[in-house]
């Protein structure tokens, strides 16, 4: 696997898509390293990767022990409340906040440690139950209910597109999420910052950027197909 060439290729495509972006914003790359070993991640860091994404708590913490000082860790997968304690003070950003019980646990831990934990609210843009996320119609209400939390900070939204060949359906869902982010941002709510829109993976990141994403989570296009 030629990670160097893959990464250059992805960065080039990001740059081209940025020029067509509705938001005109720079895009941050989260290299998704799930299932890949320490050596491969080190190679990516050598090549300039500054942020990696993991979707399982166990894998996150094992890798964090070895690389926590070298790269920023993002929690991008479904998070159970009873596992918050392992990652809340290690994740630069938690992308998958999608329910009140989880928010309460993050707030509790963050408060006890006197730190701020930055989170994205995951919105279910695919209408697929399995992917998790708050529904479009519930998102604003959910965010409102989090405003009293002093140590959990909302800094944007995240979405995972449907796994489908219908590109216009994917594009529509990205556009809807961007519009929702902009709508909330325009309300200028003091307690939150609608700064990040985390959307786009290997199969759809260029489209996501065109539709206003400023944070893409890319795994297989950089590191190759995963075995599991
Ligand atoms: C695995 C994963 C990605 C990256 O997927 P690729 O198709 O390999 O780019 C992005 N986001 C989440 C939440 C993931 O679990």
pLDDT tens digits along 130-164: 778 999 999 999 999 999 999 999 999 999 999 99
* pLDDT for res 131: 77
Q: Taking a C-beta distance cutoff of 8 angstroms, is the pair 83, 96 a contact? A: no
pLDDT tens digits along 169-228: 999 999 999 999 999 999 999 999 999 999 999 999 999 999 999 999 999 999 998 876
What domains does the chain contain, in order, with CATH numbers? 3-218 (3.20.20.10)
- Report the C-alpha gap between 56 and 76 in whole angstroms: 8
Q: Is the CB of 34 under 6 A from ligand 1?
A: yes
Distance 218 CA to ligand 1 centre (A): 6
| Mean of the per-residue pLDDT values of the chain | 97
* pTM beyond cutoff 0.95: yes
| Mean pLDDT within 57-65 | 98
pLDDT tens digits along 84-137: 999 999 999 999 999 999 999 999 999 999 999 999 999 999 988 777 899 999
By CB neighbour count within 10 A (0-12 exposed, 13-18 middle, 19+ buried), where does 43 fall? middle
* pLDDT for res 129: 77
Distance 108 CA to ligand 1 centre (A): 28
Q: Calculate the alpha carbon distances from 12 to 71, 146, 196, 206 in Å.
A: 22, 38, 21, 11
Predicted confidence (pLDDT) at residue 1 exceeds the cutoff of 90: no
User: Tokens in use for 167?
Assistant: 């590109």
Strands, E assignment, the chain: 28-32, 51-54, 72-75, 91-97, 117-123, 152-159, 196-198, 215-218
Distance 22 CA to ligand 1 centre (A): 23
- The H or E element spanning position 169 is helix 167-186
| Mean pLDDT within 7-23 | 98
* pLDDT for res 228: 62
DSSP 8-state symbol, 3: H
* pLDDT for res 24: 95
Ligand 1 atom at shortest distance from the alpha carbon of 201: 9
* pLDDT for res 127: 87
- Report the C-alpha gap between 172 and 167 in whole angstroms: 9
């Amino acid at each position: 696997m030629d990670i160097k060439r893959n990464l250059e290729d992805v960065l080039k495509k990001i740059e081209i898509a940025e020029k067509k972006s509705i938001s005109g914003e720079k895009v941050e790359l989260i290299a998704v390293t799930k299932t890949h070993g320490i050596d491969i991640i080190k190679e990516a860091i050598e090549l300039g990767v500054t942020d990696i994404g993991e979707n399982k708590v166990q894998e996150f913490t094992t890798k964090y022990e070895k690389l926590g000082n070298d790269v920023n860790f993002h929690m991008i997968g479904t998070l159970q409340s009873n596992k918050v304690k392992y990652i809340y003070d290690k994740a630069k950003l938690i992308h998958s906040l999608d329910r009140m019980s989880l928010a309460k646990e993050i707030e509790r831990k963050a408060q006890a440690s006197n730190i701020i934990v930055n989170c994205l609210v995951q919105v279910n843009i695919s209408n697929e139950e399995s992917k998790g996320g708050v529904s479009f119609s519930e998102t604003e209400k959910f965010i409102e209910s989090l405003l009293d939390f002093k140590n959990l900070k909302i800094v944007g939204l995240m979405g995972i597109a449907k796994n489908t060949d219908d590109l216009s359906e994917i594009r529509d869902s990205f556009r809807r999420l961007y519009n929702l982010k902009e709508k909330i941002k325009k309300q200028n709510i003091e307690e939150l910052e609608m700064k990040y829109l985390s959307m786009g993976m290997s199969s759809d990141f260029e489209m996501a950027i065109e539709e206003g994403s400023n944070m893409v989570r890319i795994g297989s296009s950089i590191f190759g197909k995963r075995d599991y």
